Amino acid sequence: ITPQSLRIAVIPGDGIGEEVMPLGLRCLKAAAAKFGLALELTEFEFASCDYYLKHGDMMPEDWHSTLSAYDAIYFGAVGMPDIVPDHVSLWGSLLKFRRDFDQYISLRPCRLLPGIPSPLSNPGDIDFWVVRENTEGEYSSIGGKIFEGTEREVVIQETVMTRIGVDRVLNYALNLARSRPKKHLTSATKSNGISITMPYWDERLKALSAERGYDDLKIDKFHIDIFTAWIVLNPSQFDVVVGSNLFGDILSDLGPACTGTIGVAPSGNINPEGKFPSLFEPVHGSAPDICGKGIANPVGMIWAGQMMLQHFGFKDAAGAMMRAIEDVLAEGASHIITPDMGGSTGTTESLGAAIERKILGGA
């Protein structure tokens, strides 16, 4: 799927989502101008708590057909917990996108950027992707309680793994690994303790890699317990990491946490076939504690835009955006860098504008 032009639905959402989005858009437009891409950007005010307060719902009834017309959704953040409960705002927006647009891949880069200190004392060169199954597995609604409140109380929740669901995430991860120089895939499992679904996950990986001739890849697996330890002890050994919904959830918070501030990490919720739009967003939320101060780090938002261009195969533009982010962070000018990364007077505007200038000026 490499369209000549992209139609993008822009949803700033709440809080600092509204503050970082303008810088994300400026950087995307700079990359588009520089590399001759046609980007059609249409902004929507729904999927925000302001919209909820006006309309009594997070989104209009026809949101699905409205957004289906776009190639991708560029999303800020949602949530104003003092005014609208988080389960209402989240289930009424982001989680609907994930389910109804079958965004079955959650994708996060874990990369230690220059100028950003890692919480690990000896991080090495961290540069891997976490691929998480995003629709089934441990997060099913199958189960229940009986004899509640009595001594016979029973509570059951089932894990659901379908062949379609398991194969498609493993295939995505295999292809991603093949596209990278190290060609190395590591699968998260727990087939020693979870004796039915996890051996199935392992078997499907073995079968797919054999059937489809992935002899050029190095493929290995770790049980999730030691896997988390290795991410802290020796993260530079990983290249592409794949996990079920639960294991992927854990790894996709742990990985970026090892690369420093939450303000820089991006995330993709992807429907790889392009049957529905994919969604690209920063990992962080609406940060009510710093909202309105103009100091939110815009890098997560800008990097999410970079991932979006990369996803659609605009390699040159995506490469230039990534280099611009890295260069500005490496220079580390304290009047440009935001306070969460140790800057002094840097703001959302100063940092975003510096990256925009690099994109326009850089080769």
Which 3 state secondary structure label does DSSP give 208?
Answer: helix
Per CB under 6 A, which region of 74-82, 109-117, 129-137, 170-178 contacts ligand NAI?
74-82
Cα–Cα distance list, 141 to 15, 215, 308 (Å):
31, 38, 31
Is 362 in contact with 332 (CB distance < 8 Å)? Answer: no
Per CB under 6 A, which region of 86-94, 126-134, 191-199, 225-233 contacts ligand NAI?
86-94
Residues 100, 7, 280: CA angle, nearest 5 degrees: 55
Instruction: Report if residue 307 touches ligand NAI, rule: CB under 6 A.
Output: no
77 binds, among Mg ion, ligand NAI, none (CB under 5 to 8 A by kind): ligand NAI
How far apart CA 160 and CA 140 sit, in angstroms, is 6
User: Euclidean distance between the first and final Cα of the chain, in Å?
Assistant: 26
Instruction: Report if residue 203 touches ligand NAI, rule: CB under 6 A.
Output: no
316 binds, among Mg ion, ligand NAI, none (CB under 5 to 8 A by kind): none
Residue 296 — φ and ψ, nearest 5°? -65, 140
81 binds, among Mg ion, ligand NAI, none (CB under 5 to 8 A by kind): ligand NAI
How far apart CA 243 and CA 132 sit, in angstroms, is 5
**Helices and strands (H and E) in the chain: how many:** 12, 12
Instruction: Report if residue 47 touches ligand NAI, rule: CB under 6 A.
Output: no
The strand order across the sheet containing 266-270 reads 38-43, 5-13, 72-77, 278-282, 266-270, 105-111, 127-133, 240-243, 184-189, 218-223
Instruction: Report if residue 258 touches ligand NAI, rule: CB under 6 A.
Output: no
Q: How far is the CB of 144 from ligand NAI (least distance, A)?
A: 27
Binding letters toward Mg ion, positions 221-260, x by CB under 5 A: ----------------------------x---x-------
Binding letters toward ligand NAI, positions 330-359, x by CB under 6 A: ----------x-------------------
Instruction: Report if residue 281 touches ligand NAI, rule: CB under 6 A.
Output: yes
Q: Which residues bind ligand NAI (CB under 6 A)?
A: 16, 77-79, 81, 86, 90, 94, 262-263, 281, 284-290, 296-297, 300, 340
